[in-house]
């Protein structure tokens, strides 16, 4: 009942976000998007390719990579794929080598992979969970950035985008250590943006709110959790992956040529900062 009322009121904010992509802002660019076989990563990869980029798709499972690549190629988009578990050194090495071999270089790195193996508060978590979350969410992002520099330094308009979360600003009780890891990514964005500005490499970050994907199901699947989530969103609806894809395309494009070290919150108005 409440869900119906909320959905009706959300219509007033215009939830029809589908539109045809008419600009070619990323023509001639090459992009890597990690964890891009579904959800937010898939939408980012699709949007970059729709705007003219050649995109390397990747995730842990070969069958997922194959499916995502086929779907995008069917739409006439220029994509290739490879398996890459971001926590594995060999996989990351292979990701960069395959991108260079397939597309000749790299202009845009999007670090999107993250895990949250447990649902619960910070102090209820174990050291093992802390290590797993920080290894994938933070350390792998740092390593991908470092390892991408040889290729990015050859680009005329290089850019890195890190996917953080609204939880970086307002820790979510159900996502304890995950929230802390996402706050660390805001720091990583600031620190590296300063260091890489000299090389002309822009580093920015996106902090999505609650976006309807498999990952965020615990936050909206039950009626109770859905109502709690919606009560914190001014626009009274969950976000879509495509609404993150469009922001990533903007940040990667020359429309954002004077933006570095920033985080764009895409949350339908969830509280994030003053």
For strands 202-208 and 108-111, give the pairing: unpaired
- Binding track, positions 204-243, relative to ligand NAP; x by CB under 6 A: ----x-xx-xxxx---------------------------
The yes or no reply on residue 38 touching ligand NAP (CB under 6 A) is yes
Specify whether 178 is catalytic.
Answer: yes
**3-class secondary structure per residue, 258-269:** CCCCCEEEECCC
87 in contact with ligand NAP (CB under 6 A):
yes
Residues whose CB falls within 8 Å of the CB of residue 199, separated by 6 or more in sequence, listed in order? 149, 152, 153, 158
Q: Which residues contact 256 (CB under 8 A, 6 or more apart)?
A: 159, 202, 204, 250
For residue 9 the two structure tokens come to 């009121």
Closest CB to ligand NAP among residues 60, 190 = 60
Is 35 an interacting residue with respect to ligand NAP (CB under 6 A)?
A: yes
Q: Interaction with ligand NAP in 162-181: which residues (CB under 6 A)?
A: 163, 165
Can you tell me which residue has the tokens 């979510």? 172
In the range 40-79, which residues lie near ligand NAP by CB under 6 A? 40-41, 59-61, 64
Nearest to 202 by CA among 142, 160, 256, 247: 160
State yes or no: residue 85 binds ligand NAP (CB under 6 A): yes
Of 129-158, which residues contact ligand NAP (CB under 6 A)? 136
Where on the chain is the footprint of ligand NAP (CB under 6 A)? 34-35, 37-41, 59-61, 64, 84-87, 112-115, 136, 163, 165, 208, 210-211, 213-216
Catalytic residues, which ones? Answer: 178
């Amino acid at each position: 009942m409440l869900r119906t009322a909320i959905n009706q009121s959300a219509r007033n904010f215009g939830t029809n976000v589908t539109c045809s992509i008419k600009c070619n802002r990323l023509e001639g660019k090459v992009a890597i998007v990690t964890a891009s076989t579904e959800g937010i990563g898939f939408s980012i990869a699709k949007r970059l390719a729709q705007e003219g980029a050649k995109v390397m798709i990747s995730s842990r499972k070969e069958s997922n990579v194959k499916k995502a690549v086929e779907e995008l190629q069917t739409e006439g988009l220029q994509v290739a794929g490879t398996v890459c578990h971001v926590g594995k050194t060999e996989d990351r090495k292979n990701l960069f080598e395959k991108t260079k071999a397939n597309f000749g270089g790299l202009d845009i790195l999007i670090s999107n992979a993250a895990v949250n193996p447990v649902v619960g508060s910070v102090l209820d978590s174990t050291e093992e969970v802390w290590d797993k979350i920080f290894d994938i969410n933070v350390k792998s992002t740092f390593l991908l950035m470092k390892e991408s520099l040889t290729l990015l330094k050859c680009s005329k308009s290089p850019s890195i985008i890190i996917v953080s979360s609204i939880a970086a600003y307002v820790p979510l009780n159900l996502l304890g250590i995950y929230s802390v890891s996402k706050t660390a990514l805001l720091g990583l964005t600031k620190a590296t943006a300063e260091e890489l500005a000299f090389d002309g490499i822009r580093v920015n970050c996106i902090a999505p709110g609650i976006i309807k994907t498999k990952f965020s199901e615990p936050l909206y699947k039950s009626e109770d959790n859905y109502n709690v989530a919606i009560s914190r969103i001014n626009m009274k609806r969950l976000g879509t992956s495509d609404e993150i894809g469009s922001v990533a395309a903007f940040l990667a494009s020359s429309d954002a040529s004077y933006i570095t070290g920033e985080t764009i919150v895409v949350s339908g108005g969830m509280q994030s900062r003053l």
